[in-house]
Amino acid sequence: MQNSETKIRLMIITHDLALGGLQQVIVNICKTIDRTRFDPQVLCLRTTGDYTPEIESLGIKVTLIPQKKKGADYFAFLKVARILKQEKIDVIHTHNTQPFMDGVLGAILARVKTRIHTDHARDFPDKRRYMFAEWFLSHFVSKVVAVSEHTAKNLMKYEKISPHKMAVIPNGIDGSKYAISIDKDKKRAEIGITDKGPIIGIGVRLCEQKGITYLLKAMPEIIKSFPDCTLIIAGRGPLENELKLEASNLGLSKNVKFLGMRLDIPELLQIMDCYVLPSLWEGMPMVLLEAMASKCPVVATNVGGISSVIKSGETGLLVDPEKPKAISEAVIRMLEDNHLRGKMMHGAFTLFTENLEASVMTKHYEELFGNTR
């Protein structure tokens, strides 16, 4: 085993460690990285968050840069540079725009030679100043990692990032968290479902990107075929009250349950007969990997990097975005056809175990991190 002086000292730089897909990637890297070769730390630029105790329990240091009391901190990169020097960091790994800017500028000042950046996808074109900044900074990193081929194409098209700088590493999760057995009747009763009808569900931030309004609009047709079907929606966000009002106006109060923020998503996935993701844009959504690891059949919109993991008719069903009728037809088809549902479950789980486990993702990152010496 290498001692701490010979290990590669890695600093992962993020906005925060709040509950979210990007942050889950960081947790999974921390949990699966080869600690005989790497000595990882995490640097938060804005705040820490719910995942902090889990990372610290691994013996990994989490640091929050000193915060300004008011306004934007245009000199945060100087604080980053100071910390990188103090910790004698060999490699930085930044996630999304602000960490990209402050992390790379800080690394240049601290003379950290290996700089890796991951873009977790967004709706392009982005703000021009952000795209220009990322194009400029891409000249000072070893690699820009995209979480899907779709994201890589967007970065090359809109930010003119050189193909030679690009790498694609799909997100990965710890499948063992989802390979569980529960008392399904007890779980249904716990969230207030008393009948025996099918359950479809989604667990995301309640925002425009996720297209939940189109799933609500699809529910009346689904209910015609399955009157006792229940849609469970886990999560919070800016559209929560608006979506609750829409569900009420559509007469769905009996069939739709808003569960708020939940920490028992692995258990909720065990009682779902179908996971539905009606997003308007995506990169590589972690929620789909969670469904695949749970053997929960998926209906999703064909946007962003979703088609790289959901192959329609093989690992799930894809539909066009903003089409409630297409969503209802796909969900009804999935609920009616047990053979199809079983085929989707098997195909998705096989794809997950072979390509989307956290350990597979981390090995690809280790190859990039290891090019420091």
Q: Could you list the pLDDT tens digit for every one of the 373 residues in the chain? A: 556 668 999 999 999 999 888 999 999 999 999 999 999 999 999 999 999 999 999 999 999 998 887 878 889 999 999 999 999 999 999 999 999 999 999 999 999 999 999 999 888 889 999 999 999 999 999 999 999 999 999 999 999 999 999 999 999 999 999 999 999 999 999 999 988 999 999 999 999 999 999 999 999 999 999 999 999 999 999 999 999 999 999 999 999 999 999 989 999 999 999 999 999 999 888 999 999 999 999 999 999 889 999 999 999 999 999 999 999 999 999 999 999 999 999 999 999 999 999 999 999 999 999 975 4
Q: Which residues contact 356 (CB under 8 A, 6 or more apart)?
A: 170, 171, 172, 173, 289, 292, 293, 309
Query: Where do you find CATH 3.40.50.2000 in the chain?
Result: 8-174+357-369, 175-356
Selected from 1.10.20.10, 1.20.120.420, 3.10.129.10, 3.40.50.2000, the CATH number assigned to the domain covering 175-356 reads 3.40.50.2000
Query: Residue 138 has what pLDDT?
Result: 96
Beta bridge partners, 11, equal 41, 92
Q: Is 348 helix (H, G, I), strand (E, B) or coil?
A: helix
Q: Minimal CA–CA distance to 341: which of 292, 296, 290?
A: 296
Please tell me the pTM assigned to this model: 0.84
Q: Minimal CA–CA distance to 92: which of 139, 140, 133?
A: 140
Order of strands across the sheet with 199-203?
A: 256-260, 230-234, 199-203, 274-277, 298-301, 317-319
How far apart CA 182 and CA 271 sit, in angstroms, is 9
Q: Which CATH class is domain 8-174+357-369?
A: alpha beta
93: left (phi over 0), alpha (psi -120 to 50) or beta: beta
Query: Residue 373 has what pLDDT?
Result: 45
How far apart CA 347 and CA 79 sit, in angstroms, is 47
Query: Residue 74 has what pLDDT?
Result: 85
Query: Residue 5 has what pLDDT?
Result: 67
